[in-house]
Amino acid sequence: MDENFHHDNPNPLLSANSLSKICYCAWNAESERLNKGKKASFLRALIRVFGVRLMLFGFIALFEETVKLCQPLLLTGFLDYFTSDSNTTSTEAWLYATGVVLCSFILTMTHHPFCFGISRIGMRMRVSSCSLMYKKSLRLSNTSLNECSVGHIVNLMSNDVARHKTAVHTDKRVKVMNEIISGIRIIKLYCWEKPFGRLVENLRRLEIRQLRRTRYAQACQMGPYFASSRISSFLFTMTYVLIGREDEIRPGTVFMVVGVVQSLCFTCGVLVPLATQYLAEILVVIKRIQNFLLLEELENVASIIQPNLHTENIPKDGGAEKQRASWVEIANLTAKWNESSTTLNPLEKISLTVSPGQLVAVIGPVGAGKDLTLLPKGDATLIGDRGVNLSGGQKARVSLARAIYMDADIYLLDDPLAAVDTTVGKHIFDKCIVGYLKAKPRILVTNQVQLLSAVDNIVILTDGQLMGEGTYSELCNSGFDFFGLMKPPEDKTCEKDWRRQSCLDTLEESLATFQGDCRRHSVISVDSVGMTFMPESAQLPDEEERETGNIDLRVFIDYFKAGAGIVLFSLLFLYLLLGQVFLVGCDVWLARWTNEIADHHIALKTYYQISIRQNTTNVTRDWRSTQLEIPQVDTHFNLYVYAAMIVAMFALTLIRALLCFKLAVTAGENLHNMMFARILKATMEFFDNNPTGRVLNRFSKDTGQIDDHLPWVLFDFLQDCLVTAGVVVVSCVFNPWVLIPVVPLMILFIIVRRYYVQTSRSLKRLEGTTRSPVFSHLSTTLQGLHTIRAMHMEQQLTAEFDAHQDLHTEAWFLFLATSRWLAIRLDFLTAIFIASVVYCCMLSSDTMDPGFVGLSVVYTMALLGLSQITVRQSVELENQMISVERVLQYTRLPIEADLESKPGQKPPDTWPSSGSLQAKGVSLRYSPSAPFVLKDINFDIHGGEKIGIVGRTGAGKSSLITALFRLAEPEGELTIDGVSIHSLGLHDLRKVISIIPQDPVLFNGPVRRNLDPFDEYSDSQLWNALDTVQLKEAITSNPDSLYMEVTEGGSNFSAGQRQLMCLARAVLGNTRILLIDEATANVDPMTDELIQQTIRNKFKTCTVLTIAHRLHTVIDSDRIMVLDAGKIVEMGTPNQLLSYGKSGWFYSMIQKLGKEEQEHLIQLASKDQNINSESSSSSDETTRHPLLGQTKSCNPNNSLVDHGWTRANSLGLNNKAFTVEDENVIYEL
């Protein structure tokens, strides 16, 4: 439906591109005022663009209010006709009646064009403001990016009206939710659901507390609205009584006042307060937007270009034939992140020249100032949010391919080979960096020493300073030890300075850490190392679910159950009915009172014939004999009863409003809590298939709808529905002829509503689903902001954002248009109903009391607008319930297994004692319809063993960790110390396993909470852990120490420091099992070695599983597991695997490295030759899975004769001698 709905040429009056240009020009004029020392005003810019149209509609509104005041005046002359002493003729009465009816039709023809036009202006303001903010976000400086979070910007765009203090709490909640959704994988791995749950609950509690105060204040304002006109009528009547002129209370006068008061009450009692409230809130919104637009921008921003991405325009051999003379020259460069930066590690006095065609390598430790990140964030349209369906190596290759497509003059490459395996890395380096781009100046930041011999020049950075420069041979001849980079300095901390990595690194990598990569790998063949996507079925995230048809009654039931128990709901229903009874009763009592006064005057005229002729008076009857026959009016009794009914009516309407808003606020609170609790327990499959923006939309826009709009709509509908019913009943009771037009009009009302609601509901759902891509695109843009800038993709991303906005605008415009379509037709039907009542009164004037005529007509006049509002609100209630429906969808998400073990199955506190791991027939897939990423995995790992896990990109390495943590439920048997992980609660399982993830995640908040969210450890324990990972000096350099604030995504830490923080978490955990998931892929060899030393010292007795692309990281492992296509193809000691020569998988991976690196690794592996024979035969045997079909022979010393070994342990056998039967051939070991 979305595809058919969208078109390429949106209405230019509503086009985001056109509107943003107009608004951009107006804001530029304000920016120029700022440059001249004057104040810039976003409000003035909006007035400059939309002020004339607003003024025009203001005149229409003034004309409408004038007509509203004229209608009660015409009503006075009409009602006078029904009094016995009236001088109004029948013709005049018919003219007055026609005037009252015409006013109704005029109001209908002016009100709805006014509302539609104002709505369009508001929509254009929103679209232009969002486009302006999006373009601003593309130009934000590093300082500005630290001042405003992704959640703040999303909330600024998603909520049309700021809610004063509530908006502050909402911003914080949405910001935290953005971090939680983005970092949910880490939260689950660390069992941090409870502390983050408490954090959100506390923020939500503050938000609800302020929201409840606001709603109660609004209930006090809106609840007595219908009572206000009755109170005004009472005060008018009481004034006449107090001054002794009660005999002048005539129906025409009273109901003229009632009509005027009703009009003024709506205008002054509803519209003016709402206008004042919304004006104040709009000014807050405008101020927030203005502050955002005034944030610091990048200086000298390059012009936004539209890159040509057609393959036919890619020059061959890197454009060598063009011979473009491009080079880089840096002279005495000193760089800081921002003007107020206090970081200690800027680039200082760097001088460098890169000639055309020269390849320069930049090396150095973490935090030296070398990172120039051009890592991809993924194109959500083609790949999926956060590149969720690509592995880390695939993302790196997408980024590199994107850079090549740019055909740039100069290439800055920030270690693009770190995330790929050695085979792919060598291919990329040889064929792409050295080959294809050979004519371009290239600066390659790398920590892979084996590549340095192939580069033209090497630059060594340390602590932001240029420590050395030269060719590989020159530096070697000078005695420089490249492999010394792997060794940490003695008695010194490698992280002694508190600084940020490059801005590109911090924003890209810190937000990339939140990706929660599901790692559904594809297989890379040896012959083709190009990027391979996942299977087609897993290419993109699922389309957002959108319900169809009527809102299920169950949605309403669940909403009211969330908001109230049976007692509160019953009380609300009772007060709603009693309030309406007293509302009608007050009017009926006033009409009865005026009828008594009219009857009294008629009696006086009948019983006393007074003639005055020539100064004499003749009385036809005796006064005393007829006095008792005159109807008397007990004025004080009527007034007291009237006053009592007014007081009761006021109390009841106020109480029902408070109860209704209490129910709505409580429902919003409970629905949010239910949804949040379910989200924390949802499976990783859900997060892999749903972009962050889509999930965040439920917690921002949908929750905002439930909090802000639904309470108003619910209360308004219930109140208006009762008033409308009261009007119809009163009109029919006092004039039964009205029943004749009422029946067909009711049928028409139902037909029109039913016709409208089918379209409206679909449009509302469509509006919701077209809104999500706007926020997803915004979130993705902010996460990949520096990649976008580096690739000059601002114009394309802006065009895509405008396209998303145009699609949403089209849905919203149609929704507004259909709403007005309904409203104008229903108001015309109501005007016909008013005409029916007025003319029926004229036809039955002889039998109608003037008071009841006035009551009927005034009621029907109030029905104009009210009837269509009631019907529209009934539809709007259904539309608003779509937000409830969307929230309820998330309360029914599939969840993980129980967090706690069942009684009787909880393991003892001493478990696991050794940390042994056994797998038998373990297979894994991420959903029932997805292919297996692990296939029949078998291994036996003894407690305390150090296992290295290697394999090409997509081999299933990280999927093994997924299986161990049960982020996806594996098939087969997987045990820890003999206890099946399937029998344990997830927290009981995950708490005994520590992990250092591939993507280090830090959350906004104090350092202490990032290390110990449960407050389980003392400060001294935290300092010991930080000292162990050599971060203590960096933390103590900050005045706040352990309570220093970590910015969003940990952007004030370098990538290496973030990884060391994760290591500190593992040190604190002190578990028997440690998993390391490519934790050193993005750090320099020195930090890598620091991490490895810490693991060797602190986890020497623990079972350690290390996934790594850098083979030197795992070369000293007890055994190495080689994975390919989800299967174990080799497993043994490093020396054993290397002894297989060219036929070995591990050996072939080492052959892809440089010669010196090969020799270095072989030398390290040779240290494992003296292995205990018993251990070798039982736990260190070599595993080879058949690849070529026929298994031949082997010897008991584990020496390889040919391909196709099957390891005993892979079959669960640990004996020295066993047999394997293959194709009727028996082999004995």
Condensed to tens digits (0 to 9), the pLDDT of residues 36-46 reads: 778 888 888 88
Q: Cα(1144)–Cα(1117) distance, rounded to whole angstroms?
A: 18
For residue 1066, give both structure tokens.
């593992």
CB 419 within 8 A of CB 1109: yes
768-806: string of b/e by CB count within 10 Å (b at 16+)? Answer: bbbbbbbbbbbbbbbbbbbbbbbbbbbebbbebbbbbbb
Q: CA torsion, points 816, 777, 145, 287, in degrees to nearest 10? A: 0
Q: Cα(257)–Cα(936) distance, rounded to whole angstroms?
A: 86
**pLDDT for res 1080:** 66
User: What residue spans define the domains of the chain?
Assistant: 2-294+552-885, 311-337+344-499, 917-992+1071-1169+1176-1228
Q: Where are the alpha helices (DSSP H) in 162-192?
A: 165-182, 184-189
Q: Cα(134)–Cα(782) distance, rounded to whole angstroms?
A: 9
- Cα–Cα distances (Å) from 793 to 40, 799, 901, in that order, read 29, 10, 50
Return phi, psi of residue 870, to 5°. Answer: -60, -45
> What letter would DSSP give residue 606?
H
Q: Report the candidate in 917, 937, 921, 920 with the shortest Cα–Cα distance to residue 1125.
A: 937
For residue 1168, give both structure tokens.
């494992």
CB 956 within 8 A of CB 933: yes
Residues lower than pLDDT 50 in the chain: 1-7, 160-165, 301-324, 337, 341-345, 366-382, 389, 486-540, 608-628, 1169-1229
For the chain, the C-alpha Rg in angstroms (whole number) is 39
CB 960 within 8 A of CB 1126: no
What is the sign, positive or negative, of the torsion defined by CA atoms of 140, 141, 142, 144?
Answer: negative
**pLDDT for res 1083:** 64
3-state secondary structure of 378: coil
**Which residues on adjacent β-strands are paired with residue 414?**
445
CB 755 within 8 A of CB 822: no
Dihedral class, residue 1049 (left if φ above 0, else alpha if ψ from -120 to 50, else beta): left
CB 715 within 8 A of CB 721: no
Q: Cα(793)–Cα(341) distance, rounded to whole angstroms?
A: 28
What is the sign, positive or negative, of the torsion defined by CA atoms of 309, 312, 313, 316?
Answer: positive
- Cα–Cα distances (Å) from 216 to 11, 165, 279, 657, in that order, read 42, 15, 20, 8
For residue 1091, give both structure tokens.
């991490």
Amino acid, res. 719: Q
**Helix 251-264 × helix 566-607 angle, to 10°:** 150
**pLDDT for res 162:** 36
Q: Cα(1219)–Cα(952) distance, rounded to whole angstroms?
A: 31
Q: Report the candidate in 449, 457, 354, 446 with the shortest Cα–Cα distance to residue 396.
A: 446
Q: Report the candidate in 700, 830, 724 with the shortest Cα–Cα distance to residue 158.
A: 700
Q: Mean pLDDT of all residues in the chain?
A: 74
**pLDDT for res 910:** 84
Angle at 169 between CA 164 and CA 175, to 5 degrees: 125
CATH 3.40.50.300 fits 311-337+344-499, yes or no: yes
Judge if the upstream peptide bond of residue 912 is cis by omega within 30 degrees of 0.
yes
Q: Report the candidate in 538, 523, 689, 517 with the shortest Cα–Cα distance to residue 1078.
A: 517
3-state secondary structure of 713: helix
Return phi, psi of residue 363, to 5°. Answer: -125, 160
Q: Cα(626)–Cα(1110) distance, rounded to whole angstroms?
A: 119
Other CB atoms closer than 10 Å to residue 67's CB: what's the count?
16
Q: CA torsion, points 926, 930, 934, 936, in degrees to nearest 10? A: 120
User: What is the separation of C-alpha 797 from the centre of its chain, rounded to a whole number of angstroms?
Assistant: 19
3-state secondary structure of 994: strand
Same fold, 311-337+344-499 and 917-992+1071-1169+1176-1228: yes
Amino acid, res. 748: L
pTM above 0.85, yes or no: no
Q: Cα(1063)–Cα(1138) distance, rounded to whole angstroms?
A: 30
* Residue 1051 exposed, middle or buried by CB count within 10 Å (0-12, 13-18, 19+): buried
* Residue 864 exposed, middle or buried by CB count within 10 Å (0-12, 13-18, 19+): buried
Level-2 CATH architecture, domain 917-992+1071-1169+1176-1228 = 3-Layer(aba) Sandwich (3.40)
What is the sign, positive or negative, of the torsion defined by CA atoms of 156, 159, 162, 163?
Answer: negative
CB 919 within 8 A of CB 938: yes
Other CB atoms closer than 10 Å to residue 436's CB: what's the count?
18
What is the sign, positive or negative, of the torsion defined by CA atoms of 805, 806, 807, 809?
Answer: positive
Q: Cα(75)–Cα(597) distance, rounded to whole angstroms?
A: 19
3-state secondary structure of 87: coil
Domain 2-294+552-885 fold is: ABC transporter transmembrane region fold (1.20.1560)
Q: Report the candidate in 742, 760, 726, 767 with the shortest Cα–Cα distance to residue 873.
A: 760
Q: Cα(1060)–Cα(1068) distance, rounded to whole angstroms?
A: 12
* Residue 636 exposed, middle or buried by CB count within 10 Å (0-12, 13-18, 19+): exposed
